[in-house]
Structure formats: structure tokens, C-alpha cells
Amino acid sequence: MSEQRASFSHLGFIIAAAGSAIGLGNIWKFPYITYANNGGSFVLIYLAAVVAIGAPVMMAEILIGRRTSKSPVSAFLELARGVAGGRLWAAVGYLGVATGFVILSYYSVVAGWTVYYFGKCIIWSFQGFTPEVAATLGDQFGAFLGDGTLQISFHAFFMALTMAVILMGVSQGIERVTKVLMPVLFVLLVALCLASALSPGFGEAISFLFSTTSITRDGILEAVGQAFFSLSLGMGAMITYGSYTTRKQSIRRDALMICVLDTVIALMASLVMFSVIFSIPAAERAGTFSASSTILFTTLPRLLYDLPGGALWSPMFYLLVAFAALTSTISLLEVVVSYFIDHLGWRRLRATLVVGLVTTGLGVFAALSLGANEALTSWAPFGEHDAGVFGSLDYLATNWLLPVGGFFIALFAGWFLSERITRDELEAGAGPFRLYWMWRWALRVVCPIAIGWIIFAVIQGKAFN
Ligand code: TRP
């Protein structure tokens, strides 16, 4: 093999992995599905899912990567030697590579929106956010979605940013960039939380998030699926990042840290969103809101500009979301690129350019499927579920690819890897692992049942995206 494998510093690994986890899933998706599921109990179930399912799988992924110092396909090939199923396990790695490619192609379209709205907010802040602007936010967003040139431009711009970081490599690119972006994101979010604490809706936001309500069976499954997506699990992103760490650090502590950071950021983002939403009188609210995926762009600007200092908060908010998205797209691209580097022996430059451009190409179809192109917009291979290339890719990834990948990763680490290997990895840099059997049985039983239940519901026609 050609180049020596790069690696993260200890802190660099935690920040990069947290950067992967913290993304649109935390700031865009978590708040609106929490809203759709009535808050309180959904949050509680989500927390339980992070502890019982997310954390064990996170440890398993990092362990697989660090043990082999390889990206998913090669890692499975190495660890599956002499294990039942043998080389077949590499399929889980291939599935992960394909999943990364699929998610990145549409994720970067949404990431592009955040850059566009950052720019729009700057203009609004200077020219004035007039009542006329506020009244037409929905129409403006609709027009933006239907504008093919804008959609493609911002998607391509975001892909270019992502590729630039990946080109610079693991420590000079990913680590260096996430180490700047993540602290900035955190400070911005804390500032926004403080600002929202002064808004009239803050109290209601707190009680909405933290008092128990009723929850449906689908809500429970949605919480589990969201935990997976939010923690970047199920496609080997953490295997890939884990392959760049050393045995000096504790996988248990790092995984815990990443889970805590991811969850805290999701809760903070929700607090900000709900504070501004609940600042509007309830009567007025009923007509204005639907808990939809577009809330971030159709409703939030108006609310942010209502805050004292709104001209400052609004662009800041979208900048923050763009940063969160970038540290996630980086991880998605790295999974695919590292496959070509590790398994096929390509140079990073070539792998990044080829993979990046092909992904940008697929994303163009997604970008045009939001109204710009009739055929792409109504294409619905999965029937009643989200129509359009964009909706279909999202449906495919969140309902099939990630759960199936996560299911097999859990099975592999729970039943097929030896106790000697897993214990050794989990104790390296940390000392005796008293809860080892709890971890092992979580992977053997709890995770497969919970994830299997999701897959079962999806087979029956449910959709969780
Ligand atoms: N976790 C990110 C988010 O919350 C998205 C993401 C990045 C992801 N890498 C991933 C999701 C790998 C699943 C698998 O937005």
C-alpha cells in the first residue's frame, strides 16, 4: 500500500466525529419531528434510543474501524476471515459506500439551501425585513425550490466545499476544518439559546420539550430511526473515522462524548426553534404552522427577525446550520472516498474528484426534482412515499439502507466478533470494562430487535423520513 495511513489527534477525532453526527439531522429534522410528535415523550424515547441503541452501535463501529485501520469494505473483509459468512460480510461495507453516495447527493442540496438563506438574511438585514417579505416567505421558498439554476448552483457549491476539505486529507483537511467550525457552531448556538431564553415563548418551549405527553407506536420507531441518522450510524461513517484513531484513546469514553454532544446540540436547537415558535400567540399559531420539513425556511426567518437583535441572529443562525451540514457532508464523502483509496489503491486526489463529481451529478437530479423539472419531480418508484428523485433517495436511505446496514453491523459485532477482540478494543486506553456484557447483549438482542422492528414496519408500508 502506498501512503502511510493518516490519523486524527485525540481531540481531533472526537470533534470530527461529533461534527459528522451534528448536522441537518439535529438542527432541521429533530425539532420538526419532535414538534410533529408532540414533544415531551418523544424526546424521552429518543434519549432512551441513544443510550440503548445508538451508543452501543457507535462503540461497535469505532471498534471495527480502529481494529483494522481500514474503511468499511476492507475492515469487514479482514475481520470476517474465519467467521461464518466470510467474505459475504464485505457486502455490509459495500452497502455503506452506496449509502454514503446516496445520502450525500441529496443532503448537499439541503445544505445548499442553508447557504442561500444565509445570503438572503444578510441582504434582508441590510435592506430591511419588511412585513411584505415576511408575508411571502412561503412563496419565496417555493419559487426557490422550483428554480433549477439556483438549486444546482448551491448544491454544486456545497459539494465543491466538501471536496476541497476532503482533498486536503484527514488531518490537514477534516481535522483542521472541523476544529474551527465546531467551536464556532457551539458558541453561536449558545448565544442563540441565550437570546431565545429572553423571548416570551421560552417557558412553553421548555415544558413542551420536557413534560411527558402521549406517543404513538410510529413515534417510537421514528425516534429510533432518528437516533441512527443523527449519530451517523448504519453506513460505516464511524468505522471510517474510527480507522484514523489510535489505541491510546478509549472508545467507550469517546463514543459517550460524541453521543452526549450530538444530543445536547439537538436539544439546544429545538429549544431555540420552539422558543421563537411559541413566542407567537397560540391562536395565531394554529393557522400559520404546519410541522413540516420546510419550517426552517418558511417560518423561522420571520420569527428570528422578531427577536431583539434579529438582524444579527438571523444570518448567524443559517451560518451555523451550514457549518453543521458541512462537517457532516465531509464525513459522508470521506466514507466513499476512503473505499477507493483503501480498497482500490487510488490516490486521494483522483478518488475525491471522481466520487465528488459523480455525487454532484446524482445530486443534480435531486436538485431538479423539487419543481424545476416535471418528470423528475413526479418520479415515484416507491409509490405513495415521497415523490421525486429527492424524496425517493431520502426514503431509500432512511428507511432501507441505514436500518439494514445498522442491523448487520450490530449482528456482526454482537455475535460474530470474538470476545477477545471486542474486549481488547473496548479496554484499550481505558482499563477493565465492567459493563462489557451489557454492551454485548445490547448488540445481540436490543439493537437487532429494535432495528428489525423498523424494517418490518417499512416492509408493511410505513415511512420514517
Ligand atoms: N448525522 C448527520 C446529521 O445528523 C448526517 C450524517 C452524516 C449521516 N454522516 C452520516 C447519517 C452517516 C447517517 C450516516 O445530519
What pLDDT, in 10s, does the model give residues 348-362?
Answer: 999 999 999 999 999
What mean pLDDT comes out for the span 267-281?
Answer: 89
Q: For ligand 1, atom 10, which residue shows the shortest CA distance?
A: 232
Nearest residue (CA) to ligand 1, atom 12: 232
Q: Could you tell me which residue, 200 or 16, shows the higher pLDDT? A: 16
Whether residue 111 has its Cβ less than 6 Å from ligand 1? no
pLDDT of amino acid 464 = 82
Relative orientation angle of helices 388-395 and 90-127, to the nearest 10 degrees:
130
| pLDDT score recorded for residue 298 | 87
Arithmetic mean of pLDDT over the chain: 93
The set of cell numbers assigned to 52 is: 440503548
Q: Is 229 in the pocket of ligand 1 (CB under 6 A)?
A: yes
Per residue in 44-63, pLDDT (tens digit) is 999 999 999 999 999 999 99
Question: C-alpha distances in angstroms, 27 versus 211, 336, 370, 431?
Answer: 21, 25, 21, 36
Identify the band that residue 2 occupies on the pLDDT scale cut at 50, 70 and 90: very low
Element (H, E) at 119: helix 90-127
CB 195 within 8 A of CB 313: yes
Least confident of 11-15, 125-129, 294-298, 435-439: 294-298
Evaluate if residue 274 carries a pLDDT over 50: yes
| Model pLDDT for residues 109-120, shown as the tens digit of each residue | 999 999 999 999
Question: Mean pLDDT throughout 375-393?
Answer: 85
Nearest 5 degrees, angle CA 288-CA 293-CA 295?
40
For the residues of 161-201, what is the DSSP string, one character each?
Answer: HHHHHHHT-IIIIIIHHHHHHHHHHHHHHHHHHHHHHTSTT
Of all atoms in ligand 1, which is nearest to the CA of residue 237? 12
Cell (9 digits) for 401:
439502507
SS3 content of the chain, % helix, strand, coil (to 5): 80, 0, 20
Cell of 118: 444565509
Using one digit for the tens of pLDDT, what is the confidence trace for 208-250? Answer: 999 988 888 889 999 999 999 999 999 999 999 999 999 999 9
Binned at pLDDT 50, 70 and 90, residue 291 comes out as: low
Q: Which atom of ligand 1 is nearest to the CA of 325?
A: 15
Q: Which atom of ligand 1 is nearest to the CA of 332?
A: 9
Confidence of residue 465 (pLDDT cuts 50, 70, 90): confident
What average pLDDT does range 195-203 have in this prediction?
A: 90
Q: Quote the ligand 1 centre to 125 CA distance (angstroms).
A: 31
- Contact in structure between 230 and 26 (CB atoms under 8 Å): yes
Residue with cell 438482542: 445
User: What is the distance in A from the centroid of ligand 1 to the CA of 239?
Assistant: 13
What is the pLDDT at residue 290? 59
Query: CA 111 to CA 104: how far, in whole Å?
Result: 10
For residue 178, give the C-alpha cell.
472541523
Segment 142-162 mean pLDDT: 97
Does ligand 1 come within 6 angstroms of the Cβ of 226? no
Cβ neighbours for 458, distance < 8 A, ≥ 6 positions apart: 399, 400, 403, 464
- The pTM of the full predicted model, rounded to 2 decimals, is 0.95
Span 53-75, average pLDDT: 97
Q: Is the CB of 463 under 6 A from ligand 1?
A: no
User: Any idea which of 39-43, 96-100, 215-219, 289-293 has the lowest mean pLDDT?
Assistant: 289-293
Dihedral angle sign, alpha carbons of residues 165, 343, 74, 1? negative
Residues 123, 164, 317, 137, CA torsion sign = positive
Confidence band of 280 (pLDDT split at 50, 70, 90): confident
**Closest to 270 measured CA to CA, from 42, 16, 7:** 42
Separation of 328 CA from ligand 1 center, angstroms? 6
23 C-alpha to ligand 1 centroid (Å) = 7
Q: Cα(246) to centroid of ligand 1, in Å? A: 23
Stretch 326-341: mean pLDDT: 98
With a 6 Å cutoff on the Cβ, whether 39 touches ligand 1 is no
Q: ∠ at Cα 194 (189, 199), nearest 5°?
A: 120
Could you tell me how many residues make up the chain?
465
In angstroms, the CA 60 to CA 75 distance is 12
Q: How far is the CA of 15 from the centre of ligand 1 (A)?
A: 14
How far apart, in Å, are the Cα atoms of 107 and each of 28, 114, 299, 324? 12, 11, 21, 12
What pLDDT sits at residue 24?
96
Ligand 1 atom showing the smallest separation from residue 228 Cα: 13
Is the per-residue pLDDT at 1 higher than 50? no
**How many Å lie between the centroid of ligand 1 and the Cα of residue 25?**
7
Atom number, ligand 1, closest to the C-alpha of residue 20: 7
Residue 237 near ligand 1, beta carbon < 6 Å: yes
Among 30-34, 265-269, 329-333, 434-438, the range scoring the smallest mean pLDDT is: 30-34
Q: Return phi, psi of residue 406, to 5°.
A: -60, -40
